[in-house]
Chains A and B, each alone.
Chain A
Amino acid sequence: GAVVSQHPSRVICKSGTSVKIECRSLDFQATTMFWYRQFPKKSLMLMATSNEGSKATYEQGVEKDKFLINHASLTLSTLTVTSAHPEDSSFYICSARPDRVNYGYTFGSGTRLTVV
């Protein structure tokens, strides 16, 4: 149990366009989901915490207007990269934890975004 599905796995888009990435918890409900960005040869950077039914909490230095997060249901959070630029190219990973005690975090398989 505790599977997180992330889609798409790869996407290539043109500069100036927007891209939406979906993160779904398949067999559990998640009040909170997390979005990370992974740079080459570097660790995971937490971008924001997605809260069901309320606004996301962004980490310092992350542009809220560029990285729009929507957590409309207990099983779905979306990250939209707006007006994408080549420097937004990266590997984005979502994570969630079942609302049950002592259950660990589960990660999606990631989305490789390339902006050309």
Chain B
Amino acid sequence: GNSVTQMEGPVTLSEEAFLTINCTYTATGYPSLFWYVQYPGEGLQLLLKATKADDKGSNKGFEATYRKETTSFHLEKGSVQVSDSAVYFCALIVTQGGSEKLVFGKGMKLTVNP
């Protein structure tokens, strides 16, 4: 079936540390891949996306590359800030029965300390 597996954490980092959140997927065909971020008490916001192999999504210093050969879409940031504290979700879009759905990983809570 279609699924997303990601690091669950929680993870605590110091400001300016390097961040990697692993995400791998299982899907038929070539899904579009996404990273969403959820700040405390809020809904989800799209952080970045990639729609085909070797595409690199980037936003707010975060990057992720669509790797077909390893079915991965790892999220990275070179220097995290306190304001990056949030829950991060990896997701893909699947089409089932003619309808489209987002499939999420379990989310990873990141806390960045000053």
- Chain A interface residues toward B at CB < 8 A: 4, 6, 32, 34, 41-44, 46, 49, 57, 93, 95, 97, 102, 104-110, 112
With A34-B102, A105-B102 as given contacts, are A43 and B107 in contact (CB-CB < 8 Å)?
yes
Partner of A32, one of B36, B41, B44, B99: B99
A-B contact count (CB 8 A): 46
With A42-B106, A44-B89, A104-B34 as given contacts, are A93 and B101 in contact (CB-CB < 8 Å)?
no
Q: Tell whether, in the assembled complex, residue B46 and residue A104 are in contact, meaning their CB atoms are under 8 Å apart.
A: yes
With A49-B101, A57-B99 as given contacts, are A110 and B106 in contact (CB-CB < 8 Å)?
no
With A49-B99, A57-B99 as given contacts, are A44 and B43 in contact (CB-CB < 8 Å)?
no
Q: Tell whether, in the assembled complex, residue A46 and residue B89 are in contact, meaning their CB atoms are under 8 Å apart.
A: no
Q: Which residues of B contact A41 (CB under 8 A)?
A: 109
Closest to B9 in A: A41
User: For chain B residues 18-41, which have a beta carbon within 8 Å of chain A?
Assistant: 34, 36, 41
- Chain B interface residues toward A at CB < 8 A: 34, 36, 41-46, 49, 51, 89, 99-102, 104-107, 109
Q: Which residues of A contact B45 (CB under 8 A)?
A: 107
Q: Tell whether, in the assembled complex, residue A107 and residue B44 are in contact, meaning their CB atoms are under 8 Å apart.
A: yes
Q: How far is the CB of B61 from chain A (nearest CB, A)?
A: 20
Q: Which residues of B contact A105 (CB under 8 A)?
A: 46, 102
A–B Cβ pairs within 8 angstroms, 28 of them: A4-B43, A32-B100, A34-B102, A41-B109, A43-B89, A43-B104, A43-B105, A43-B106, A43-B107, A44-B44, A44-B104, A46-B102, A57-B99, A93-B43, A93-B44, A95-B102, A102-B51, A104-B34, A105-B102, A106-B46, A107-B36, A107-B43, A108-B43, A109-B42, A109-B43, A110-B41, A110-B42, A110-B43
